[in-house]
Structure 1
Amino acid sequence: MTDANLSDHAHPTLYIVPTPIGNLADITQRALDVLASVDLVAAEDTRHTARLLSHFSINAKTFALHEHNEQQKAAALLARLQQGQSVALVSDAGTPLISDPGYHLVTQCREAGVRVVPLPGACAVVTALSASGLPSDRFSFEGFLPPKTKARQDTFRTLADDPRTLIFYESPHRIRDSLADMREVLGEDRRVVLARELTKTFETIHGAPLGELIAWLNEDANRLRGEMVLLVAGYRADKSALPSAACHALGLLAAELPLKKAAALVAELYSVKKNALYKWGLENL
C-alpha cells in the first residue's frame, strides 16, 4: 500500500466507501485498496457485502450497520476507532448516507474528532441526472417518496413550484401509484425522466411529459422492474399568463369603466401588456 490516506493506526479513520450500483467494474481502485486494508467493514447487509468482497478476493471482517440498529451500534464502532482501528463504511450500492445508513456514525465520529475520509464513487442520483437531459445546474434530491398516497401528494404540492430539477428514488411496486399521484398534483405536461437498472444490462433512461411516461410504462411489464430514479423538471412559470391580481383588478374596474380604459389602467399598475388584458377581459368578463 502506498496511499498515505489508507490505514494508519496512529490516525484512526472512518472511510466512506461507495460501491457499484450495478456494474462491478465501476468500483474504484482506491475503494478496493481501502476495503483490503481496514480493520473492519461496516456494511448495510453483511451478506451482500461479503459477495462483493469475495468477487475481488478481499478477506475483510464485516460488521452489520443498518437503519434498524445504527443508533445503537454507532457507539461500538466509534469505540473501535478510538482504540486505533480503521473502519470502512459501505452500503449495499452507491454512496453511503445518500438514502442509506451512516449519518449517526459519521456525526458521532466528527463530534469525537475522529477523522472521516470520503471516497468519490458511484451514486445513482448523479448518474441519472447526468444523462437525463434536464437542467443540472440546480437540483434537489428528495430521497424516497412516502409510501402513502396522501403523504406523496402533500410532498408534490410542497415542491410544485420549485424551479430546480427534483430527484426521487422509488421502488418497482410503488412506481405506478407514485406517478399517478404526481400527475394528480403536477399535471400531465410536467416532463419526467425515469432511470432504471442503471449501469446494468437492461439500463433504461426514458423521458416524456408525465401523461406519456405513464402510458409508456404501462406498455411493458419489464419496464416496472429494477430500482428507479425519477427526475422531474422544475417549475417554469408561463410568462404569457396574467397575474391573478391584475385580472381581479380588471374585473373591478371594468364594472365602472369601459374595458379599454380599465385595461390601460391595470396594465400600468401591474406592468403587463394592455392588449393581453383587454383580450382576457373580452373572453372572461
Structure 2
Amino acid sequence: MAAVEIEAGTVEYTDAGEGPVLVLLHGLMMDASLWDGAVAELSRDHRCVAPTLPLGAHRRAMRPGADLSLDGVARMVAEFVDRLGLRDVTLVGSDTGGALVQLVLRDGAERVARAVLVSCEAFGNLPARVTGRALALSGRLPPWLFGLFMQQMRLRAVRRSPIAFGWLTARGDAAVARWTEPVRTRPEIRRDTVAVLRAVAAANPLPAAAEALPGFGGPALVVWARGDRVMPPEHGRRLAGLFPDGRLVEVDGTRTLVPLDRPERFAGIVREFVRDT
C-alpha cells in the first residue's frame, strides 16, 4: 500500500487504474479491502483510490490527540484528497463511509464532482441499529478491556451474529476476520478505536448534515441493499430525494456491504453512473 502524511498521522491507501477518479471510503471496523472486488472491475477504466481510515481496522495509529470524531475523520478525508491533488472526484462511501461522505459534502467539498452513498448511516441511525449500538457500547470499556472483549471475534459464530457483522455481509467472513485483527493485537489501534466509538456514541452530526445535502450541485447516486436490516431502506429513498440531481438503485441478494457481497453488480452500477453524468 502507498501512504501519505496528513495532520493526524499516516494514512495508507491503494491506488489502481486510470481514468475518472473514485475515492472509496469504508466503514467502522473495516479497511480499504472492502473495495477489492469492486476495484478489480472498476480499475479497468477508472482510477480507484481507497484509503484505510482510522476506524478500527487500520494498521498505522494516529498521533496522540488526533480528532477521531466523525467530523474529524471527514476532515481527514478532505485533507487526504487535497494532499493527493485529486480533482473532479467521485466520492463513494459504504456503511460509516457514507456518513463521512455526507459530512464532507456538508463542509463544501470543492474537489468532489459526484457522490455515491451505499447503504449507510443517515439521519438518526447512528449508531446503526443493534449492530452499531453493540459496538458503541463496547467502546465505553477501557482500551485494554475493549481488547479482551474483541478477542471474541476470533470465533466465526460471534462474527456472524447480528451484534457483530452477521447482518452486514453474507459472504465476507474472511474479510471480517482480517479487519478485527488489529484491535485484537495492538494497543495503539485499540486506543484509536475506543476514541472513535466514544465520539460516535456522544454526538450524531448526520441530521444537520442531511440539511446541507440539497446544496450539493453535482450528481448523486444512492445504492441500497433491498431489505437491509441495519440501514433502513427508507433512509436510502429519503437521501436520494434530498439531492437536486439524486437517483436511487436498490440491490437484491446482498446485505449492508453491497461492495463486498455483490462487487460486480456494484461496479456496474457505479460505472454506469459515472459514464452517464
Rg comparison, structure with higher value? 1
Output the TM-score relative to the length of structure 2.
Answer: 0.23
User: Which structure has the higher relative contact order (CA within 8 Å, separation 6+)?
Assistant: 2
Output the TM-score relative to the length of structure 1.
Answer: 0.23
